[in-house]
Amino acid sequence: MPSPRSALLLALLPTISAAAPEYHRDIAPIIHENCSSCHRPGQAAPFSLISYAQVKKRARQIVEVTGERIMPPWHADRGVVEYANDRSLPDAQIELLRQWFEAGTPEGDRAHEKPAPVFPEGWELGKPDLEVAMSEPFTVPAQGHDIYRNFVIPLDLTEDKWINAIEYKPGAPQVVHHVLYFLDTSGTARKKDSEDPAPGFSGFGSVVNQFRYLGGWDLGTQSSKLPYDLAMKAPKGADLIIQVHYSPKGREYKDLSRLAIHFSDKPTARPWTILPVPPMFGILDGIDIPAGEKEYIKRNTFTVPTDLDAFRVNAHAHYLGKRMEMTATFPDGRKEWLLKMSDWNFAWQEDYQFKKPVRLPAGTKIDVLISWDNSATNPHQANHPPKPVRWGPQSHDEMGTITLSVMVDTQEQKDELHESVKRFMATQALARAFNGDVTTLQHARAGGIRIPDSTAAKLQEIAKSLDHDRDGKLSELETGIGAAILAPHMNGVGAIGID
Ligand code: HEC
């Protein structure tokens, strides 16, 4: 005699199986819409998910990874901020995939079969206006330190152009950690290249400081065109410089990176730039994570000096990064999340595009919290046992910043924002100097920030001399005076912004 409960289940069974989802009618649209763009030949994912046979073969794994929300990859916490490019699946679709698997992955009626989705060939963004590549391959050795190498790529523009998108394809994705793009109109980069016998030339900070920053590529970045008719100016005759950060991976690789450039047929609709908090990847933030520390936290607050419209946000840390949080507190006291990520993943450094631009009026406070997990239990931990980790440019060092992309109405507003970012950096430098944190300042020098006096000790002297009331602390006023003096000497990606 079946129990009343199993009798009920038995009674329900025919209805459930009658309604069981079928591949062509119910499952293919979910897969084609959410998975096939990456799971197809020539893309980042290791196997294709397009046909019935391909999906059926991995059905169990698909149910697991969608159920745990590992796939599709999406690392912002759900239900906090609305992003236009949110890839996460609604619960109902996850449930449908599960039901289909449990019903034995039925193919269903082929009459419902839809044609395989069509994607642009080769480049993700379709046919570009200009394709360029490194002039020769660069050899990344099997072992050794990370390498920062700069390559000069002439664009041969015969007139000024406006760039709407740059898509990057590494030749050796195994060893490319990230890439930054710059423009040079002075010929300096060509000269440096010709002086160095190997392909390209070395250096990190000198390039970051000297050339105009255009953006970059990280692991897991999806290419996108700039929204709202925005564009970046590329003057006639300019060279593109790509700064590639390579991490050796146990065998020799040859990299020949390629780029696809899309032009806009008109100048940018509005001036725009980036606002990194803290600036320059956190170089002056005094990041110094004790071995074994489970939650090491840095907080920063930046007050917006002029009205901005934020249209996307992006976070950056290395392997130990954990929480990435940014909020806006508006002048009327209202508070809103801009980014909340509880489990940072180095492999997926996405641009999160707001559903609509977020207006940040002058006086809005941007609060950023970044945490790192340097414990032995962090699955991304490289050191066993854990070691202290400081700020640095190598991939086993750490960094941390959250960057907004913002539009303004006038060039003056943009200049005002850049001035504020420089004052922010100067304030950080003074705080480090005042507290005797010489190592951070030395790192900053190596990273390319120009501090006017030739020694960190001199900066310390300046910082101490600002303490007019001799209370052993720098007040807001005292810091403000010092920052105003130092700010013009601050430079770097964080302060340059995009023209
Ligand atoms: C933005 C690109 C992208 C999208 C969209 C995407 N995947 Fe993936 N997927 C990857 C990459 C890259 C890997 C391999 C690296 C990894 O495991 O993180 C992967 C791995 C997988 C794996 C193997 C996981 C493992 O543990 O080995 C499965 C299964 C999978 N994806 C299923 C899906 C399904 C189902 C969807 C859609 C609902 C989807 N993916 C959407 C990029 C993507």
> Atom 20 of ligand 1 has which residue's CA nearest to it?
45
Q: State which H helix or E strand residue 458 sits in.
A: helix 456-465
Q: Are residues 337 and 287 in the same domain?
A: yes
pLDDT at 492: 55
> How many angstroms is it from 48 CA to the middle of ligand 1?
10
- In order along its 499 residues, the chain shows pLDDT tens digits of 444 455 444 444 444 445 789 999 999 999 999 999 889 887 778 899 999 999 999 999 999 999 999 999 999 999 999 999 999 999 999 999 999 999 999 999 999 998 888 887 788 888 999 999 999 999 999 999 889 899 999 999 999 999 999 999 999 988 998 898 999 999 999 999 999 999 999 876 666 667 788 888 887 777 889 999 999 999 999 999 999 999 999 999 999 999 999 999 999 999 999 999 998 889 889 999 999 999 999 999 999 999 999 999 999 999 999 999 999 999 999 999 999 999 999 888 889 999 999 999 999 999 999 999 999 999 999 999 999 999 987 888 999 999 999 999 999 999 999 899 989 988 988 888 888 887 787 777 766 666 655 556 777 888 888 888 888 888 888 888 888 888 877 765 444 445 5
String of DSSP letters for 355-375: EEEEEE-TTPEEEEEEEE--S
pLDDT at 77: 95
Domain-located, residue 117: no
Assign residue 230 the CATH number of its domain.
Answer: 2.60.120.310
Domain-located, residue 125: no
Q: Find the domain containing 433 and state its range.
A: 273-496
Domain-located, residue 124: no
Quote the radius of gyration of the chain (alpha carbons, Å).
Answer: 26
**Whether 113 contacts 48, CB under 8 Å:** no
> How many angstroms is it from 73 CA to the middle of ligand 1?
7
CA 3 to chain CA centroid, nearest Å: 56
Q: Are residues 146 and 203 in the same domain?
A: yes
Q: Are residues 236 and 361 in the same domain?
A: no
> How many angstroms is it from 213 CA to the middle of ligand 1?
32
Domain-located, residue 158: yes
pLDDT at 455: 58
Tally of domains in the chain: 3
Task: Specify burial of residue 4 (Cβ count, 10 A radius: 0-12, 13-18, 19+).
Answer: exposed
Residue recorded with tokens 């039925």: 106
Q: Are residues 312 and 457 in the same domain?
A: yes
> How many angstroms is it from 438 CA to the middle of ligand 1?
44
Instruction: Assign 3-class secondary structure to 87-135.
Output: CCCCHHHHHHHHHHHHCCCCCCCHHHCCCCCCCCCCCCCCCCCEEEECC
List beta partners, residue 405.
Answer: 274, 312
Q: Are residues 306 and 346 in the same domain?
A: yes
The reply to whether the predicted model has a pTM over 0.85 is yes
Residues near ligand 1 with C-beta < 6 Å?
34-35, 37-39, 44-46, 49, 58, 61-62, 65-66, 71-73, 87, 89
> Atom 31 of ligand 1 has which residue's CA nearest to it?
71
Last residue of a domain, one of 268, 290, 317: 268
Token reading at 302:
């930046």
Last residue of a domain, one of 62, 86, 112: 112
Q: Are residues 299 and 247 in the same domain?
A: no
Which atom from ligand 1 is nearest to the alpha carbon of 89? Answer: 38
